[in-house]
Amino acid sequence: MANIIPSSHFIEIVSKVLKDSRGPVRIAEIGVDRGATTREIAKLLRPCDVYDLFDREDCTLFRNLQRLVNSSQCKINIHSNTRKTFDSYAWSLAKVSMEARARGDGMGLWDAIYLDGAHTFPVDAPATCVLKEMVKIGGYFVFDDVKWSLASSPTMSTPAVKELYTDEQMDAHHVEMLVDLFMRTDVRFTELTERNEKRAVFIRNTGEGCPSKPIISLSERIKAHLVEKKALLRDCVRSGGGNTDRRIDKDIPQSALFMTELMPTIHRLYMNLPANVQKTCLDVGPSSFGGTALLADLHTEQSFNKLKLKVSAVDILDRWRSLQEMLAPNVEFFVQDIFTIKNRTWDFIICSHVIEHVSNPSVFLKQLQLLARDFVLVASPWAENPISTKGHINTIEESFVNEVGGRDLRTFVNYGWGKQREVCSFWLPGFGDE
């Protein structure tokens, strides 16, 4: 597939390998195509490191190889194949493996491998069988596009390709099939990703083909998981077209901070309920889902929390659905204008830092009251005058809170914008199901 966008998750893994290494490292990338990932990895590698690249001899990167060589410090080995029907990088890999074994390197050649090539079983099955034997103990094996299929590809779903494959093969996820066959059944490897993700990442624990005490420690596995999680977050943000560093390092924690400020009020309003009562909640405008995830995680049926919550979230944009799937998978998320919601209510609704963005906040809150049976909990910047935050179009002051019938108004200092600032919170009674 066209390698246009650098693979952030593999870059993170290579960065970790370099950080943890005590000597030279060796990396393999299979399927470099235009070289977006290749160029970023090459920038990281040192003069003592080796980078093995596998692809067709006429791929874009290999035709412009000198630019990569000139901008890199590491040693780059090119392993190319022709366009002949039965010539592929699987053959090149087999030769490299045989040469390594002849030198006595049979227990592992590469510290990290990235397979992003043909994505077809006939090519990648033999390639996987070779590669898995050449991963060093403690090394990583990354499969990209696990859910990809020939039928879903505009460039591959052509009459010429359909002549070569059955309908079943066109629709199948070839990479997922070989991962299931060759990797998930191999006790030498531990998978670091969930089965439903678009990629699969494995770390090699042992050199023997039987269960044994993993050589890699639990702490190292945790670190590897965190690296992959950060990479997944970056991919989620990138899919929504956002600034990755800001969204991950600022927006998600900010959302969680806002929610922690509201939870004491929720608990106080429900203080007299019997223990373990479940309530339904709708979070309006969750954006990064940091706060939504925190609220749901702290109030599960299994938690020690007296209050159990079934959390839903609604937004007018579908932009951050991938973040919801990763951070808050147990939260029901739907895209809809609140004024079009019919025949449904929730026990309470959270409207955290939303009304400063809407053109008519009083009408907006009245609609939320119709959707809430118990209360609507509101938070926003307080008396932002002049308005200085991008995206804010109105300011909330005491006169507005009195106008809409707000109760228990609180104003306090918040550091969620990275500076001292006042915010407010108040609640409104719900009129739902009346």
Q: In the 3-class helix/strand/coil scheme, how is 325-390 assigned residue by residue?
A: HHHCCCCEEEECCHHHCCCCCEEEEEEECCHHHCCCHHHHHHHHHHHEEEEEEEEEEECCCCCCCC
* N-to-C CA span, the chain: 56
Query: What's the alpha-carbon Rg for the chain, to the nearest Å?
Result: 27
Q: Which long-range contacts (CB under 8 A, 24 or more apart) does 212-217 make?
A: 214/190, 215/137, 215/138, 216/137, 216/138, 216/190
Write out the H or E segment, with its range, that includes residue 422. strand 421-429
pLDDT score, position 211: 44
Burial of residue 431, with CB atoms counted within 10 A of its CB: 0-12 exposed, 13-18 middle, 19 or more buried: middle
pLDDT score, position 1: 42
pLDDT score, position 418: 55
Alpha helices in 51-153 (DSSP H): 60-63, 65-70, 89-103, 121-131
Mean pLDDT by 10 residues, the chain (434 residues): 74 93 92 91 93 92 82 91 93 92 76 95 96 92 94 92 94 95 92 79 73 57 74 77 78 91 96 92 94 95 92 93 89 96 96 95 97 97 86 92 96 71 93 79
Superfamily of domain 8-239: Vaccinia Virus protein VP39 (3.40.50.150)
Range 244-429: architecture per CATH: 3-Layer(aba) Sandwich (3.40)
pLDDT score, position 298: 95
pLDDT score, position 210: 46
Q: What is the value of pTM for the model shown?
A: 0.56
Q: Where are the domains of the chain?
A: 8-239, 244-429
Residue range 372-424, pLDDT digits in tens? 999 999 999 998 888 888 889 998 999 999 999 999 999 988 766 556 678 99
One fold for 8-239 and 244-429 = yes
Structure tokens at 130: 């070779």
